Structure 1
Amino acid sequence: MIRLFANANYDFIRWRRWAYALTAAIIIPGFALFLVHGLNYSIEFTGGTLIQVQTPQPVGAATIRGALDAAGIRDAEIQEFGDPLDYVVRARIGQGGGGAVEAGSTEATAAAVDSALAHALGAAPEHYKIVRIEAVGPKVGRELQGKAFLAIFFSFIVTLIYLAIRFEWRFGLAAVLATFHDILTTIAFIRYLNLEVSLIVVGAVLTMVGYSLNDTIIIFDRVRENLRKFRRQNLYEILNLSINETLPRSVLTHGTTMATTVALVLLAGEVLRPFALVMTFAIFTGTFSSIYIAAPLLMYIEKRWPGQDARGARAFRPAGTGAPEPRAPQPQPTR
């Protein structure tokens, strides 16, 4: 693999406009669906119904989950409650406006769970017993959601400041814009698959932010080195050179990580599958944006506001055009 890409010389920047079109084709329809239908939030965000179930012998959380899935009650939280015979089920079958639990939905959810367990385990109370039923509020309230978005916003600001000190503010701006692109495409991906947005999925999105930034910084560090090393090359060539030089590392790192997440998609249970799906897409879009979004953005920013390192690079001339002819010296007027 390393030998295959050791002397890579691909013109990545050439395909930037096709990359923009692909990005627009993912983001625009996805956000149209998001504005019309919103996201499918889990009971951690909306609240639901808590049902404590007791069985005469251990049946396992997987058995209860299978019974609920068969009845159409999906994405329920099932945990053992201190004893292998006691289980706590958090589920919902309806949402009201603003994500609040509908009035009367607690009884409806309890009845649906009771019916699903009776069908799978047998009639109550011989095979199971419902100990308590109560409505539960969301684990993640609106205030905590607002603080989470505020934390992401400040993380962008801190990243911009760090890259401005470590490199230049132009590098930081390109990296933050590329990361914002990753968040938009991931939200669109979640909307396309109608994945339930739980705390696990939120964790995958935050992991993607750090993963994408790390890859972008590695490429930008090589760009900075090459800007100082190859003063006679233009920025277009230096960006392509830097991406090709870091390509073996990118292929190996992202390939092995994606192999793990794909294995989780295929082999993990229903609880981890949304996380694995989001992470698999996040690895793809993070690599894609580092090459086709962050690098071209840096080129445009440096053209508009050339930094200290980029000022030494000669101006970019389209392929097929030669160097400008030297001008003949103008005769000086005689006095």
Structure 2
Amino acid sequence: MTKELRIIDFMGVRHYTSALSILIVIISLASLALNGLKLGLDFTGGTQLEMLLDRPADLDKIRDVLEKEELKSPVAVLFGSDQEVMIRTQDQMKIKAQEKLSNTIAALGSGAALESLERPVRELEGYADTLVIANLGVDLLQQKDLFPSAKYGRVEYQQRDGKVLVTLENSVDSVYLNQIIGDLEAATGAKIQLRSSEFVGPQIGDELRDQGGLGMLVAFVLVFLYVAVQFQWKFSTGAIIGLVHDVIVTLGFFAFFQWDFDLTVLAAILALIGYSINDTIVIYDRIRENFRILRKTDPHEVINISISQTLGRTIMTSASVFIVLFCLYFIAGEVLQGFALALIIGIVAGTYSSVYICANITAALGITKEDLMPKAKEEDGAEATEAP
């Protein structure tokens, strides 16, 4: 015997679920407006360092050193193995090194100040940077030994318009980076090898942000057109409202808790659009089928039957995806945690919206069986009847 399907009255609580959805969206939009997204290095620009340690990395000690350096939004995560560390900061090493030198020079008193950092003149080829220092003599600079050759290599002093020009063989950012590595080695007791140092400019970050937003907009438009062609515009409107709900809620969580929003999270948002619409289309397909079979049944009851029939599939699909995402979050490493977290939140919101929002909006727009009847076949039948 076939087990009788239990019909759940989803449409009976549509007013409550609509109010809940509106409240969640308002809170998410308020979080986005007040807090904004905590954009990661991919969007803001900054420095990314990859280091190899000769022993398992102690991330707590590494983060303590980065905090003491007062780097902007420092992040230290493992990638690859427990001896490989990726450090990200929104600071540029050159600007941060210049700030440090400026504070050191100003501490000498007498109005001493680092005015600028210039390229060396052609006569000093092979040197990296030239510091322009005001209100300070060469003798005092050499006496204080602010630029030891062990760190800066060869150092040349010149006078120009009452100011001192200090030309260094090693760039100030490389010296500052070596100092950070030295501090990390002292804190962790490990020997550290710098594998790469990359700078992401803010212009590249703006371009990535704009392209990501454009990609999301194009995805919405294509989904709307696809659902409108395959089903009907009332279904398409419900699907788009559900997708917008899912994206806003996910972004709202990241804004409220100030989690880093980087390219992996953006990729998760785009993947969420595909997952959520897939779940919605399964429900829509069953609604369309039942409208043609249950022609005398109330539209709300048809939707209840359709969602009840697909509920098991929806729960099993979401559960199987959750298993993968939890593995990514807890096992795959911190680099992918943002991606997994965004999808976990988004899939919860997407499952909810597929059941309670998309179908609810479609019903509110007054979907009927006449909207889903194959008009072309009816017209062909009418022509055949009129033929002699």
Q: Same fold (TM over 0.5)?
A: yes
- Residue 287 (structure 2) pairs with residue 197 (structure 1): no
Determine if contact 1:42/1:75 at 8 Å carries over to the other structure.
no
TM-score (norm: length of structure 2): 0.65
Q: What does the per-residue CA deviation read over 1:178-213, in whole Å, with 9 as the maximum and x for residues that have no partner?
A: 101111111011122321111111111111111100
Return the alpha-carbon distance in structure 2 between the equivalents of residues 299 and 132 of structure 1: 56
Change (3 A) 1:236 1:115: same
- 2:357 is paired with a residue whose SS is helix
Question: How is 1:1-335 mapped onto 2 (pairs within 5 angstroms)?
Answer: 7-51=5-49, 58-59=54-55, 63=57, 65-71=59-65, 72=67, 74-76=74-76, 89-92=86-89, 104-105=95-96, 110=177, 114-121=182-189, 127-128=191-192, 135-138=199-202, 140-302=204-366, 308-309=371-372
> Structure 2: 5+ residue runs without aligned partners?
68-72, 101-175, 375-388
Unaligned runs of 5+ in 1: 95-100, 312-335
Range 30-39 or range 293-302, more displaced = 30-39
Give 3-state SS (helix, strand or coil) of 1:272's partner. Answer: helix
| Pairwise CA distance, 1:255 | 1.4
Encode CA deviations 1:199-254: one digit per residue, 9 max, x unaligned: 11111111111110000000000010011111101111111110001011111111
One-letter amino acid of the structure 2 residue matched with residue 308 of structure 1 = D
Distance 1:296 1:256 in 2: 26
**Contact residue 42 and residue 197 of structure 1 kept, 8 A:** yes
Opposite residue 91 of structure 1, the aligned amino acid is R
Q: Which amino acid aligns with 2:183?
A: S
CA distance in 1, matches of 2:219, 2:43: 23
Deviation at 1:89, TM superposition (A): 4.7
C-alpha distance in 1 between matches for 2:93 and 2:87 = 15
Instruction: Give 2:328's aligned amino acid.
Output: L
Query: C-alpha separation between the residues in 2 aligned to 1:132 and 1:106?
Result: 18
Tell me if structure 1 keeps the 8 A contact 2:47–2:197.
yes
- Counterpart position of 1:330: none
* Structure 1 residue 103 displacement after superposition: 7.8
Residues 25 and 120 of structure 1: CA distance in aligned 2, closer, same or farther (over 3 Å): farther
SS of residue matched to 1:286: helix
The structure that has the greater radius of gyration is: 2
8 Å CA contact retained: 1:171, 1:298: yes
**Secondary structure, in 3 states, of the residue corresponding to 2:47?**
strand
- Which structure shows the bigger proportion of residues in strand conformation? 2
Q: Secondary structure at the match of 1:271?
A: helix
Contact (CA 8 Å) 1:48, 1:135: kept in 2 or not? yes
The answer to whether the 8 Å contact 2:50/2:195 transfers is yes
1:20-43 superposed Cα distances (whole Å, 9 cap, x missing partner) = 232233322232222222111111
- In structure 1, the residue matched to 2:170 is none
**What is the CA-CA distance between 1:88 and the residue it aligns to?**
8.1
Aligned residues: 289
**Residues 204, 279 of structure 1: 8 Å contact kept:** yes
CA drift of 1:162 comes to 1.4
Contact 2:291 2:369 in 1 (8 A): no
Q: 1:66: how far off?
A: 4.9
Give the structure-1-normalised TM-score. Answer: 0.74
Q: Distance in 1 between matches of 2:279 and 2:194?
A: 51
> Are 2:79 and 2:333, in contact at CA under 8 Å, matched by a contact in 1?
no
Give, in angstroms, the shift of residue 272 of structure 1: 2.1
Q: Name the aligned partner's letter for residue 44 of structure 1.
A: D
Q: In the alignment, residue 13 of structure 1 is paired with which amino acid?
A: M
1:73-131 CA-to-partner distances (Å, cap 9, x unmatched) read 75346778xxx9x978542165xxxxxx6983366684656534431135xxxx34669
Aligned-residue sequence identity (percent) comes to 28
